[in-house]
Amino acid sequence: MKHSSVNTARLSIIIAMLIFGTIGIFVRHVPLPSSVIALVRGVIGTAFLLGFSVLRKTPLNGAAIRSNLGMLVLSGAFIGFNWILLFEAYRYTTVATATLCYYLAPVFVILASPILFKEALTLRKGICVGVALVGMVFVSGVLETGISGSGEIVGILFGVGAAVLYSCVVLMNKKLTQVPGFERTIVQLGAAALSLLPYVLVTEWGKNMNWSGPVVPVLLVLGIVHTGIAYVLYFGGIKELPAQTSALLSYIDPVSAIILSAVFLREELSVSGLVGAVLVLGSTVLSELSLPHKEQ
């Protein structure tokens, strides 16, 4: 593989992660229900990716899609409701805390893999899981303030719920390796939108919603930039890089989210929160690293 191609792929993933890191900032400025934001994001993102596939004149792998349609649709539904929980977490707690909760997903994948895929839970990964869970105790702030802040706890629970759903998507995608990443994303985003539509109609029908001011432009940015463009960059990059490199670069997302929320939203992590952030992100990064010697 050419060095320039690797550098381009790496840059694509870095840009995608930086884009993902700003999602919380944009969602905070949309006074609409989280389910509506998720639905619009799915519709616009799907339309963008379909348009992109037409422009690049590369037909989708229809046979692979049809043979895996059931799991693609189910995983897409999980993506849609995962978005709802994550956006709700942004409303109840800080973007930094919600993002750190969301990045417990690799921990859940590690815990589920021995059961679903008969993968050995090594000592190193077991320690990483334990450290990440301790880190979440610090992030929650219970060591400093107890559990008096019910809103904060609700936000953390939403964030952890989003992580559970996202880990389910990751595990299901392990079974969808025969479906190319681009096709998989289009179908899953479309399925996310379709699964959210009846939910939105039932829960939000007839309610007054504020579509004035910057709401529509921000939704377009979430759908086109944060979903369409970011996914094109991400999947364009990961096919050129080793899986471990892509996984490690993905941690630019939470780090940038924490920094940007501090700069633009004036959110601050307490000392306990900073310790928790280091434990959560450090342990999950370590779990992705391959060691030169055989694990015990």
What is the residue-level pLDDT of the chain in tens, covering all 296 positions?
Answer: 566 788 898 999 999 999 999 999 999 989 999 999 999 999 999 999 999 999 988 888 999 999 999 999 999 999 999 999 999 999 999 999 999 999 899 889 989 988 888 888 888 889 999 999 899 888 877 666 655 566 788 999 999 999 999 999 999 988 888 888 889 999 999 999 999 999 999 999 889 898 988 999 999 999 999 999 999 899 888 878 887 788 888 889 999 999 999 889 988 878 888 899 999 999 988 887 764 443 33
pLDDT of residue 153: 87
Q: What is the pLDDT of residues 13-32, one digit of tens each?
A: 999 999 999 999 999 989 99
pLDDT of residue 145: 61
Going from N- to C-terminal start, the domains of the chain cover: 3-288
pLDDT of residue 290: 63
pLDDT of residue 119: 82
Looking at the chain, how many residues does it have?
Answer: 296
CA–CA dist 97, 114 (Å, integer): 28
Identify which of 45, 21, 41, 7 has the alpha carbon closest to the alpha carbon of residue 231: 45
pLDDT of residue 6: 83
pLDDT of residue 7: 86
pLDDT of residue 2: 64
- Which tokens in the block code for residue 198? 């009846």
Largest CA distance in the chain: 61
pLDDT of residue 143: 67
Angle at 35 between CA 34 and CA 40, to 5 degrees: 100
pLDDT of residue 158: 96
Name 244's Cβ contacts closer than 8 Å, sequence gap at least 6: 288, 289, 290
pLDDT of residue 211: 92
pTM of the model: 0.89
pLDDT of residue 58: 82
